[in-house]
Chain A
Amino acid sequence: MALTRRQRARTVRGLQYGVLVVVLVVLALVADWETISDRLLNPQIAAEQFPEIIQVALVNTVIYTALGFSFALVLGLLLALMKLSSVAPYRWLANLYIEFFRGVPALLVFIAFGFGLPLAFGVRFGIYMTVMISLGLVGAAYIAETLRAGIQAVPKGQMEAARSLGMSSGRAMISIVIPQAFRIILPPLTNELIALTKDSSLIYLLGLATSEYELTKFGRTAMSDTANLTPLVLAGLCYLIITIPLGFLVRRLESRSAKAR
Chain B
Amino acid sequence: MTAVTSAISELTPAPVEGEPLVEIRGLRKSFGTHEVLKGIDLVVHPGEVVCIIGPSGSGKSTLLRCVNLLEQPTAGTIRIGAMEVTDPDVDIDLVRRHVGMVFQQFNLFPHLSVLRNCTIAQDKVLGRKGADAERIARSTLARVNLDDKLDAFPAQLSGGQQQRVAIARALSMDPDLMLFDEPTSALDPELVGDVLTVMRRLADEGMTMLVVTHEMAFAREVAHRVVFMDDGMIVEQGPPEQVISAPTEERTREFLRRVLDPTHVEPGESEPY
Contacts and interface: CB of A to CB of B under 8 A. Distances in A.
Q: Is the interface of A mostly helix, strand, loop or mixed?
A: helix
Interface in B150-177: 155, 166, 169-170, 173
Contacts of B109: 158, 161-162, 176, 180
B124 interface: yes
A179 interface: yes
Interface residues of B, number: 26
A164 B125 CA distance: 11
Contacts of A179: 111
A153 B164 CA distance: 25
A152 interface: no
Contact of A165 (B94, B110, B121): B121
A166 B96 contact: yes
A168 to B, nearest CB: 6
A160 interface: yes
B103 A165 contact: no
B68 A164 contact: yes
Given A176-B109, A179-B111, A183-B111, A164 B124 contact: no
Contact of A161 (B107, B111, B125, B173): B107
Given A160-B70, A171-B124, A165 B96 contact: yes
Chain A CB within 10 Å — which of B109, B166, B170 has the most? B109
A180 B121 CA distance: 17
A164 B120 contact: no
B110 A164 contact: no
A167 interface: yes
Interface size class of A (residues with CB under 8 A): 10 to 19
B70 A166 contact: no
Contacts of A168: 93
Given A157-B103, A160-B70, A166 B93 contact: yes
A210 interface: no
A164 B93 contact: no
A180 B103 contact: no
B107 A160 contact: yes
Interface in B74-106: 93-94, 96-97, 99-101, 103, 105
A91 interface: no
A175 B120 contact: yes
Nearest to A166: B97
Contacts of A260: 155
Contacts of B97: 165-166
A198 interface: no
B173 A166 contact: yes
Contacts of B105: 157
Contacts of B99: 164
B170 A165 contact: yes
B186 to A, nearest CB: 11
B70 A163 contact: yes
A164 B111 contact: no
B121 A166 contact: yes
A183 B121 CA distance: 21
A160 B103 contact: yes
Given A165-B170, A166-B94, A166-B173, A175 B103 contact: no
What are the 8 tightest A-B residue pairs by CB atom distance, in nearest-first order? A165-B121, A166-B97, A161-B107, A157-B107, A164-B101, A166-B125, A166-B96, A166-B93
27 contacts: A155-B107, A157-B105, A157-B107, A160-B103, A161-B101, A161-B107, A161-B166, A162-B109, A163-B70, A164-B68, A164-B70, A165-B97, A165-B120, A165-B125, A165-B169, A165-B173, A166-B94, A167-B93, A167-B125, A171-B125, A175-B124, A176-B109, A176-B120, A179-B111, A180-B110, A183-B111, A260-B155
Interface of B: 68, 70, 93-94, 96-97, 99-101, 103, 105, 107-111, 120-121, 124-126, 155, 166, 169-170, 173
Given A161-B108, A166-B94, 10 more contacts: A157-B105, A161-B101, A162-B109, A163-B93, A164-B70, A165-B121, A165-B170, A166-B93, A166-B97, A180-B111
